[in-house]
Amino acid sequence: MFSLIKAGNGGRASKAIIKTHRKRILNGGKGGNGGSVYVKGSHNLYSLHKLHPNYRAENGRNGRKNKMNGENAKNLVIEVPIGTVVIEEGETIADVIDSKEHLILKGGAGGAANTNQGHSTGLKLQFDFKLKHMSDMAFIGAPNAGKSSLLAHITNAKPKIASYPFTTLFPNLGQFSANIKLADIPGIIPGAYLNRGLGHRFLQHLERTRVLGFVISATDNVAEQYNLLCAELNHYNNKMMKEKEKILIITKMDLVKDLDLDSLPRDLKILKTSVHNKHCDELNIYLTELT
Ligand SMILES: Nc1nc2c(ncn2[C@@H]2O[C@H](COP(=O)(O)OP(=O)(O)OP(=O)(O)O)[C@@H](O)[C@H]2O)c(=O)[nH]1
Ligand SMILES: [Mg+2]
């Protein structure tokens, strides 16, 4: 998401002069500094859709006579979700991993008293905001696989759950324990990397997760679904796929009797769950050991 942002201009200085019959006394104040622009991480935001296409910080006030300096402008602080990366001309300017303020544009300086000099215009630049949630594990799977149900069952999150596809439209985050954060990514369909379905904009969240948790319903052909999801993510970023730990979480175990898992990779860790039977022990143990 792009946003055109302008820092405040520095105020002009005053060149006021007091004339007496003998001399001229310089009596101007300096200009105030223009507002700088900061981004600050917020734990209450989970998407970038509240961001505006334009922002402008206030200008510094001009200096006045009687050596009154112009006031510095207030800085502009833009709140973004934790995990936001701010990019300018391909370069990362801020990597917002906490709720500290990160300077992205410095305001123009105020003019030096009694001169025409020193005041500068605040820069106006285009920034690209990208959200890469940080989580320890992200649930990746087809729509309706049961990702949000799992998140609701094992974390404090309260995502919407329903029996139709694409219930989840934005990623949900949940805290499994003090250290372990889980993300529920909207459903992925074949061609997501080409922007089909909800597209690839959510796949970037996966770059900032430690473990890729593939979530597949026991009622699906598990091996086929797994291969489909892997192919999708390989198209998106095969380096990420090679490097990250992957596990398979099978949901809705209450709905099947037998499960054929023979054609899955031998070294793939498989955890079976059923939210309806309140059976998530294997996943709970795995996550506890991740800490
Ligand atoms: N029987 C059974 N149904 C389940 C289980 N887990 C989830 N469901 C049902 O599956 C449906 C989809 O669940 P969600 O958690 O919304 O699925 P999702 O993967 O988040 O779906 P999207 O947000 O659309 O991608 C709901 O009707 C759930 O009640 C389970 O363990 N057993
Ligand atoms: Mg969901």
The string of DSSP codes covering 180-244 is -EEEEPPP--TTGGGT-TT-GGGGGGGGGEEEEEEEEETTS-HHHHHHHHHHHHHHHHHHHHHHS
Q: How far is the CA of 125 from the centre of ligand 1 (A)?
A: 44
Q: How far is the CA of 260 from the centre of ligand 2 (A)?
A: 25
CA pair distance 169, 45, nearest whole angstrom: 14
Let me know whether 53 and 160 are in one domain: no
Nearest CA to ligand 1 atom 16: 161
Residue 172 in contact with ligand 1 by CB distance below 6 A: no
Let me know whether 92 and 201 are in one domain: no
User: Which residues, in sequence order, are CB contacts of 198 under 8 Å at separation 6+?
Assistant: 166, 169, 186, 187, 188, 192
**The last residue of a domain, from among 78, 105, 131:** 131
* Mean pLDDT value of segment 31-50: 88
The domain that holds 126 is classified in CATH as: 2.70.210.12
CB atoms within 10 A of CB 126: 12
* Model pLDDT, residue 168: 87
CA pair distance 192, 171, nearest whole angstrom: 15
**The last residue of a domain, from among 131, 155, 175:** 131
219-267 per-position pLDDT tens digit: 999 999 999 999 999 998 888 899 899 999 999 999 999 898 999 999 9
Q: pLDDT band for position 133 (50/70/90)?
A: low
Let me know whether 176 and 280 are in one domain: yes
Q: How many domains does the chain have?
A: 2
Let me know whether 279 and 149 are in one domain: yes
The domain that holds 180 is classified in CATH as: 3.40.50.300
Residue 145 in contact with ligand 1 by CB distance below 6 A: yes
Let me know whether 107 and 160 are in one domain: no
Let me know whether 143 and 120 are in one domain: no
3-class SS of residue 151: helix
Residue 27 in contact with ligand 1 by CB distance below 6 A: no
Domain span including residue 107: 2-131
CA pair distance 280, 261, nearest whole angstrom: 19
Query: What six digits make up the tokens of 264?
Result: 């899955």
* Mean pLDDT value of segment 69-87: 94
Nearest CA to ligand 1 atom 27: 163
List 175's β-bridge partners, or say none.
181
Write down the mean pLDDT value for the chain: 92
Residue 171 in contact with ligand 1 by CB distance below 6 A: no
Q: In ligand 1, which atom is closest to the CA atom of 168?
A: 23
**The last residue of a domain, from among 131, 160, 175:** 131
Let me know whether 118 and 173 are in one domain: no
* Model pLDDT, residue 190: 85
Verdict on whether the full-model pTM lies above 0.85: no
Of all ligands present, the nearest one to the C-alpha of 277 is 1
Let me know whether 175 and 46 are in one domain: no
137-196 per-position pLDDT tens digit: 999 999 999 999 999 999 999 999 999 988 888 888 899 999 899 999 999 988 887 777
Of all ligands present, the nearest one to the C-alpha of 172 is 2
Let me know whether 140 and 244 are in one domain: yes
* Model pLDDT, residue 202: 79
CB 5 within 8 A of CB 117: no
CA pair distance 112, 13, nearest whole angstrom: 6
